[in-house]
Amino acid sequence: MQVKLSSLIMLCVIMVKLLMKTRHCLIYFYSYYKMYFITTFQAELEKAEALMAKPGDPERPFDFKYEARELLEKLEIPEDSEYTNAAKGIVQYLLACNHFESEEVS
């Protein structure tokens, strides 16, 4: 079977256009994912910090700090992000502050 050169060129042009669209979609998806990670992570950190700053009941002064600790420990940090190390450092710092403020330093 003989393939015409014009058909082959047309097929190559279509494939290149498809690859360009796919690449554009992947770049858009990655940008959206990165933005979603940053905004979600920031929102969870702000919740934890607000809980840590709340004054507790005199009988149970550390309840809000324990809530904040649970929130920080459950915080998901994707391993493939360029912000992974910085995010882990921030969470570890806040957990250390939480332990110190709730008098659980060893």
Report the range of poorest mean pLDDT among 8-12, 57-61, 65-69, 92-96.
8-12
| Domains identified in the chain, total number | 1
Q: Which pLDDT score is estimated for 64?
A: 92
What pLDDT was estimated at residue 86?
83
Question: Is residue 21 in a domain?
Answer: yes
DSSP secondary structure of 26-76 = HHHHHHHHHHHHHHHHHHHHHHHHHHHHSPPPSSSTTHHHHHHHHHHHH--
Report yes or no on 62 lying in a domain.
yes
**What pLDDT is attached to residue 70?**
93
Domain contains 16: yes
For residue 106, being part of any structural domain is answered with no
Q: What is the pLDDT of residues 10-46, one digit of tens each?
A: 666 666 666 556 555 555 556 666 677 777 888 888 8
Residue 70 lies in a domain: yes
In a domain, 68, yes or no: yes
Give the pLDDT band (50/70/90) at residue 1.
Answer: very low
Q: Is 92 inside a domain boundary?
A: yes
Domain that holds residue 53: 5-101
Residue 52, pLDDT > 60, answer: yes
Query: Is 33 part of any domain?
Result: yes
